Chain A
Amino acid sequence: GNSVTQMEGPVTLSEEAFLTINCTYTATGYPSLFWYVQYPGEGLQLLLKATKADDKGSNKGFEATYRKETTSFHLEKGSVQVSDSAVYFCALSESSGTYKYIFGTGTRLKVLA
């Protein structure tokens, strides 16, 4: 079946450090890929998405490229801020049927001033 694997957290970085959160997937067909962010006590916010191979999603300094050859969608940011502290979820949307989402386990990021 389809699945999403994220790197284990927590990830602790100093402000202005470079961030990478790895995400790989297993899927049939051509899924869409997403990164969501969840702040404490809140719901999910879409951070960025990519709908086909080689697409790059970007938002608020975060980027991720849909790599079909490596089945990956790693999240990167060149310089993190304390306000980026949150939990980040990688997800895929199945490419048929009800287009269910499959979520990764989430990676907690803590940025220190």
Chain B
Amino acid sequence: GAVVSQHPSWVICKSGTSVKIECRSLDFQATTMFWYRQFPKQSLMLMATSNEGSKATYEQGVEKDKFLINHASLTLSTLTVTSAHPEDSSFYICSAKGTIGYNEQFFGPGTRLTVL
């Protein structure tokens, strides 16, 4: 149990385009989802927290207009990187917390974004 998937696992796009990353909880309902960013050889940095049906809460320094987060259902959250630029290239990881475990987050496998 407690499986979280991400799609796509990797994506390459041109500068200026938008990219959408999906995060799904497969066998539980995710009342809260988290989006992290990880630069090479660095730790995970929390970008935002989203609760189902409400607006995401962004961490300080994260541009909410650039990183659009939607959590429209209890099993799906999406992160859209708008007008991507090479500096947005990174490993994006989502996690979900909900009806399983005790406030424990379950992590997706990550999505590697490369912006040319």
Contacts and interface: CB of A to CB of B under 8 A. Distances in A.
Contacts of B41: 106, 108
Contacts of A100: 34, 46, 49
Contacts of B32: 98
Contacts, number: 49
Given A32-B104, A51-B102, A99-B103, A44 B93 contact: yes
A105 interface: yes
B105 A101 contact: yes
Nearest to B95: A101
B107 interface: yes
In the complex, which of the residues A98, A105, A108 has the most CB atoms of chain B within 10 Å of its own CB atom? A98
Contacts of B44: 44, 89, 103
A42 B110 contact: yes
A61 interface: no
Interface residues of B, number: 24
Interface of B: 6, 32, 34, 41-44, 46, 49, 51, 57, 93, 95, 97, 102-110, 112
Interface residues of A, number: 21
A108 B41 CA distance: 9
8 contacts: A42-B109, A46-B106, A101-B105, A103-B44, A104-B43, A106-B41, A106-B42, A108-B41
Contacts of A49: 104
Nearest to A98: B49
B108 A93 contact: no
A93 B42 contact: no
Nearest to A34: B104
Given A32-B103, A98-B49, 8 more contacts: A36-B107, A43-B93, A99-B103, A99-B105, A101-B34, A101-B95, A104-B43, A106-B41
Contacts of A32: 102-104
B105 to A, nearest CB: 6
